[in-house]
Amino acid sequence: MEQRYRRELLLNRLEEIGRSLERTGRGLALIALGSVGLELERLDEFSDLDFFAIVEPGSKESFLGDLAWLSSIRPIAFCFRNTDDGYKLLFDDGVFCEFAVFVPAELGAIPFAPGRVLWKRPEVDGTIGVPVRALPRPEPRPVEWLVGEALTNLYVGLCRWRRGEHLSGSRFIQQLAVDRVLELVPLLEAAAGGAVDAFSGERRFEQRYPFAARRLSGFIQGYDRSPQSAAAVLDFLEEHFEVNGAMARAIRALMRAQH
């Protein structure tokens, strides 16, 4: 019941934003993105509202400078302008939004996933939710490079840990090295489904790669357990890939020095 209520709340709020844009007389279209766009099957009680407001030329800064077109729907509890084009915003009932305001001429230069046109003026082309500039599709990087980066991140991270730079060390081990492991996983396990996020590879990783995901808690054990996390990452790499022996011994020597 809670999930259904939240879903309806989010979708209704989008409808209200579309009507508010229309009432301004200067709005052209509202494009819903992500889980409130063309991926509605992902919408749940933890989703937010991600959208583009398309407005008449010359009126963009007016929409960004005065958020009355949103606060007139529901009081705004918090907002800040996180980019030149938009905001992150929380309504007082807990609905969170990330949005940008554009004029039509800007859309051609912006890569984004196709969206759902929730509202538009009749004269606006119905394909406005289809990006002109496709999202980048990076080429898979060579296995040797990924393994080498992971190993050297472990090594540098452990050196910094020994020096007392625990924050920097933890990031090298539990973030940078793990990021490379995430890129290697598709070589070992077929994706189980779930939408790919072109901007954030870790999104929905647990759903897409459930077997590899079981190892994540070992890779990321927290601020005080970077050596143990490094050991788990190194074990994984040695199980599945060719690992340079000298580098593995150097990493393990740094691990032993922690105890």
Mean pLDDT on 80-84: 95
Is CATH 1.20.120 the right assignment for the domain spanning 143-256? yes
Give the pLDDT score at 34: 87
**Residue 164: C-alpha distances to residues 187, 197, 226, 238, 257 (Å):** 35, 36, 12, 27, 13
The number of C-alpha atoms within 13 Å of 207 and in the hemisphere containing its C-beta is 9
pLDDT exceeds cutoff 60 at 259: no
Mean pLDDT on 152-179: 95
Give the pLDDT score at 39: 83
Mean pLDDT on 67-92: 96
pLDDT exceeds cutoff 80 at 136: no
Mean pLDDT on 115-120: 94
Give the confidence band of 202 by pLDDT, cuts at 50, 70, 90. low
Give the pLDDT score at 45: 84
Q: What does the pLDDT look like over 22-71, one tens digit per residue?
A: 999 999 999 999 889 888 888 888 889 999 999 999 999 999 999 999 99
d(CA 221, CA 120): 48
Give the pLDDT score at 133: 78
Structure tokens at 155: 């090594």
pLDDT exceeds cutoff 80 at 173: yes
pLDDT exceeds cutoff 70 at 195: no
Whole-angstrom distance between the N-terminal and C-terminal Cα of the chain? 51
pLDDT exceeds cutoff 90 at 246: yes
DSSP-based helix, strand, coil % in the chain, nearest 5? 50, 15, 35
d(CA 126, CA 128): 5
d(CA 48, CA 42): 11
d(CA 156, CA 230): 11
When mean pLDDT is compared across 34-43, 99-108, 192-201, 218-227, the lowest value belongs to 192-201
Q: What mean pLDDT is reported for the chain?
A: 90
pLDDT exceeds cutoff 70 at 194: no
- Quick one: DSSP state of residue 222? -
Helices 143-163, 226-240: crossing angle, 10 deg rounding: 160
Domain map (residue ranges) of the chain: 2-129, 143-256
pLDDT exceeds cutoff 90 at 158: yes
Q: What topology is assigned to 2-129 in CATH?
A: Beta Polymerase; domain 2 (3.30.460)
- Quick one: DSSP state of residue 136? P
